[in-house]
Chain A
Amino acid sequence: MATVEYNKKEAFVRASLRDSIPRYKALLIRLCAVVISLIICAFLIYSITKINPLKVYQAMFEGAFGSVRRSWITVRDTMMLLCIAVGLAPAFKMKFWNTGAEGQILVGGITTAACMIYLKSLPTWLLFICMIVSSCVAGALWGLLPAFFKAKWNTNEILFTLMMNYVAIQLTSFFVALWENPYGSNTVGVINQTGHEGWLGYMFGDNMLFGQEYSLNVIIVMTLTVLMFVYLKYSKHGYEIAVIGDSQNTARYSGISVNKVIIRTMLISGAVCGLSGFLAVSGASHTISTSTAGGRGFTAIIVAWLAKFNTFTMIAISVLIVFLEKGAVEIASQYNLNDYVSSMITGIILFFILGSEFFIRYKLIFRKRNKEVQ
């Protein structure tokens, strides 16, 4: 009897930190998480709709890649999400929780729309310079404010940036009411519908680059992805960001001006998020509304975090999330459900991926059977 009591003292299972894990194993664990979550989602969908889950995933695939046009829209939205995540990467690597991407996108979108409305008589190249520069500046300023207070007085940046989102949303509502077209519709409508002034796809007139409307989006975002990777990994700035992210005290001790780096990094982060606002307005919807950001500022946080700030990993995660979104919208319309089902599925899958990180960082040690018992 005594041995039984002795056994009880050791926990049934305990976790211990892994020293390292081979890359394929980490990937396998993540893949398992995604597969398990997809199975759970399939059961959930089946219990609600009684639709064969395999058919559901087939329909999802059709929704995302069913035709050339659909594939390009999937690509466009992936690029948008990726752009925001790339913008968030430097801030998060510094452990500065920029939850304000949503607002930074919106202010970038507002200035882009303003340029499209008021400056459409400018030559095309000048108009695009105005749009790009103004959206970056607007986003950067939106990021600067919380960064300044964080650097000076250590004001909580999570809550500050979160509130800035709502200020931006109200600002957007203000401009939507100001620019509404037609009057009384409470929407801005498609801007420059006839002349396509300031539409990214029509930058070179009606001959679209590679014959695709969204090819420029891809080029811009991919360039940013590579640049950001190099910036974070190989530049002095990137190194400073990494040191501050690990320990502000170490950074200070080694002579890094923490305040300066915080402000500089947030300017960059805000500018890239502002640029995604430009992509959303000029490169995709050609209009502005409070749903221009559409929660992507928050989704991108998860993308950036899961990718461990590696901008190339972000591509894969963005593709997965946008695929789910498009697929769920397709199921919703095919089976007459509403498309919020996509948020539900995305949520479940992200829960599993988040949980799986534990099994990558830790290994579980189960209680060994005591020899004396045998």
Chain B
Amino acid sequence: MAGFISLFQAAVVFGTVIMFGAVGEIITEKSGNLNLGVPGIMYLGGIASLAGVFFYESSTENPNKFLCIIIALLCGFAASAFGGLIYSFLTITLRANQNVTGLTLTIFGSGVANFFGGSLNKLAGGVGQISVAATSSAFRTSIPGLSKLGAVGKLFFSYGWLAYVAIAVAIICQWYLKRTRSGLNLRAVGENPATADAAGINVKAYKYVATCVGAGISGLGGVFYVMDYTKGTWSNDGTIENLGWLAVALVIFTTWRPKNAIWGAYLFGILYWAYFYIGGLTRSSQEIFKMLPYIVTIIVLIVISLRKKKENQPPQALGLAYFREER
């Protein structure tokens, strides 16, 4: 039981990072933009929140926790939305290829983040690694009282509050896509932009906004990773990049439905950490076990292409550019 609880806890913390990433990417992909820059965007979000808070914390004696949180979220969201803006400008206005632009964004984001993450402290005249303890503890405050409720408390109430925000964001996005007029328009843009255009929907505006907001949400995954997962520090080990690609994988796994991202993310977390809790594995066979999330994604990908159910398909115009003049 104790083993299961700690596996579940590890899975939830892990899952929250990729849930943000995946939900943001779903919004982006629903507009027909296949943004392969998710890892880069999560990098940008993570480093921007860390840098913002770092400068704030080092400028005052007693950092206000509330302000810390606001700064972290704002910086993270803004930086990753800016990443989305670069992508949108290049692919929508300048009509560059989506895949290549996305991959470039990943290279750029990982460069920026690892460069500043590794040398921010040195540039500011400090020594050693960057650390924002105060903000990180503010992010990791769990609900008082409830988290002490034995196994139930540990399973459901022991996480930093951003983990619950992730679930809320997923539900809101699901509602937005399924139940609102503007969500319907967005889906129309992703399925068939020409028809949407003919119906009077401003295709460019929808693509721009969806990509930037989607990138912002993905970037919150980076914020959560930095503030909660690594407790307000930075390491250049490339974990965010792996998580970013897993988020892209999760989008497929959810068949483009944000509500599936909630349990899908936790399932990925369990699959990812399973090796740790299965006894008798050698170090090399643990590595084989870590393939699980990717193999499951491949299987899901194959199955949805085999079954050809209309509602499980990717948006029809995904990855295709739309220019009114070139129809």
A residues adjacent to B (C-beta < 8 A):
16-17, 48, 97, 99, 149, 153-156, 158-160, 162-167, 170-171, 173-175, 177-178, 295, 298-299, 301-302, 305-306, 336-338, 340-348, 350-351, 354-355, 357-358, 361-362
Contact = CB atoms under 8 A, between A and B. Distances in A.
A155 B90 contact: no
B112 interface: yes
B63 interface: no
Contact of B108 (A17, A306, A344): A344
A162 B96 contact: no
A332 to B, nearest CB: 9
A343 B111 contact: yes
A358 B236 contact: no
A320 to B, nearest CB: 14
Given A166-B291, A351-B86, A357-B96, 14 more contacts: A99-B103, A149-B302, A155-B302, A158-B319, A159-B301, A163-B294, A167-B291, A173-B290, A174-B284, A174-B288, A343-B108, A346-B111, A347-B105, A354-B90
Interface string B254-297: 00000000000000000000000000001111111011001101
Nearest to A164: B298
A159 B118 contact: no
Contacts of B115: 337-338, 340-341, 343-344
Q: Is the interface of A mostly helix, strand, loop or mixed?
A: helix
A166 B245 CA distance: 9
Contacts of A361: 95
Given A155-B302, A162-B245, A338-B119, A347 B104 contact: yes
Contact of A351 (B108, B252, B290): B108
B90 A160 contact: no
Nearest to B308: A153
B324 to A, nearest CB: 11
B161 to A, nearest CB: 31
Contacts of A173: 284, 287, 290
B111 A298 contact: no
Contacts of B287: 170-171, 173-174, 177
A165 B249 CA distance: 12
A342 B111 contact: yes
A162 B190 CA distance: 22
Nearest to B34: A158
Contacts of A355: 89-90, 94, 96
B314 A156 contact: yes
B300 to A, nearest CB: 10
A346 B107 contact: yes
A149 B305 contact: yes
A336 B125 CA distance: 13
Given A153-B306, A337-B119, A177 B104 contact: no
Contact of A354 (B96, B109, B242, B248): B96
B123 interface: yes
Given A160-B301, A301-B99, A343 B245 contact: no
B122 interface: yes
A153 B306 CA distance: 6
B110 interface: yes
Contacts of B118: 338, 340
A348 B291 contact: no
Given A343-B111, A351-B90, A158 B99 contact: yes
B123 A166 contact: no
A153 B302 contact: yes
Contacts of B306: 153
B122 to A, nearest CB: 7
From A48, A154, A156, A336, residue with most partner B Cβ within 10 Å: A156
